[in-house]
Amino acid sequence: MIDTGAQKSVVVVGSTNVDLIMQVSQLPAPGETVGDAAFTQALGGKGANQALAATRAGASVSFVSVVGDDDYGRNAREAFAVEGIDVAHMTNSCEPTGTALIFVDRHGENCIGVAPGANAKCDVTKVEQAHELVQTARVILLQLEIPLDSVRAVLNLESRAHTILNAAPMLELTPDDIGKLDTLVVNQTELTQIVGHCVRPRKGKVLNNAEACRSLHTLGVTNVVVTLGKEGVFLSSAGVQKALPGFQVDAVDTTGAGDTFCGALAARLALEASFEDAVTFAQAAAALACTQLGAQSAIPVESAVQAFLLA
């Protein structure tokens, strides 16, 4: 249900895709054809997945996104509205809805190629049209499947919201971008890339996670969460650094697990959980999301996560 009380709201500005999923015995190598795929089509996109994860985790969510004037776009808007997401700021473009081609192997690992389509039209104007929403949100959640200028435009709006950036897929962020965030969520590769680009450690110097996160804190970001797959997360906040182990599940498909983590984290922060409790909830939600095929169909509801945490 949509809660119009803005004080509990999460605003997600990001992508919508249609996911074309090939379940294969093994990921094709360059030049190889793997002929045993089972094919499924589903809604996806990092922005949409995160908006849905935040909704299912109990927050009221508004989603700012651009889709094509096509069946995929219409289906997406309708499906998200049915889930209770405020879709008033989902708009159309003449470009087709974004498309992701996803291979998933028998261990649940994936590789993904994305054609941005209409997501490339989620420009600064669209962000400015949603400025009231952003300015009254409790938590703002961003990823990098829309133009970087649009992400920056959101961060530049005057707002008291807690800002979270999931820096995926990687774009050339600057120290100034990092300094505007309350929370940065990255995987190990993204952490290394951002530190290399924004902090530029001495040539040949390899930073461990604790050092890398500390170097990002000097740019102004308050919390850095490094997701480590089934190993758990490394959490770094002012004065506190700790590793939180992962929940062990039988993974069928890890697609969207990171998105589930981010959406659930945003929701729990909006609902005033402590940072560490929000991270633990998000880890449990992400673990459950790995137990089913697909990104959005696998995102658990709040009660399922609570039950998993108590089991």
Q: How many residues bind ligand RIB (CB under 6 A)?
A: 15
Residue 177 makes contact with ligand RIB by CB under 6 A: no
Nearest-approach distance from CB 152 to ligand RIB, in angstroms: 20
Closest to 224 (Cα-Cα) out of 267, 272, 192, 257? 192
Of the ranges 56-64, 153-161, 209-217, 253-261, which one interacts with ligand RIB (CB under 6 A)?
253-261
Specify the residue, 112 or 273, whose C-beta has the smaller distance to ligand RIB: 112
Binding mask 41-70 for ligand RIB (x = CB under 6 A): ---xxx--x---------------------
Three-class SS string for 202-221? CCCCCCCHHHHHHHHHCCCC
Least CB distance from residue 181 to ligand RIB, whole Å? Answer: 19
Task: Pick the binder of ligand RIB from 52, 57, 67, 114 (CB under 6 A).
Answer: 114
Residue 280 near residue 137, CB atoms below 8 Å: no
- Pairing relationship of beta strands 162-166 and 110-115 according to DSSP bridges: unpaired
Q: Rounded to whole angstroms, how far apart are CA atoms 256 and 260?
A: 6
* Part in contact with ligand RIB (CB under 6 A); list of ranges 120-128, 232-240, 256-264, 301-309: 256-264
- Distance (Å, rounded) from C-alpha 48 to C-alpha 71? 16
Residue holding tokens 């981010």?
A: 262
For the chain, give the longest Cα–Cα distance: 53
Contact 296, 260 (CB under 8 A): no
Residue 285's nearest CA partner among 31, 32, 24, 59 is 59
From the list 19, 86, 95, 302, which residue makes contact with ligand RIB (rule: CB under 6 A)? Answer: 19
- For residue 71, indicate whether it is catalytic: no
Q: Which is nearer to ligand RIB, 108 or 256 (CB)?
A: 256
| Residues designated as active site | 259
Positions in the binding site for ligand RIB (CB under 6 A): 17, 19, 44-46, 49, 100, 112, 114, 145, 255-256, 258-259, 295
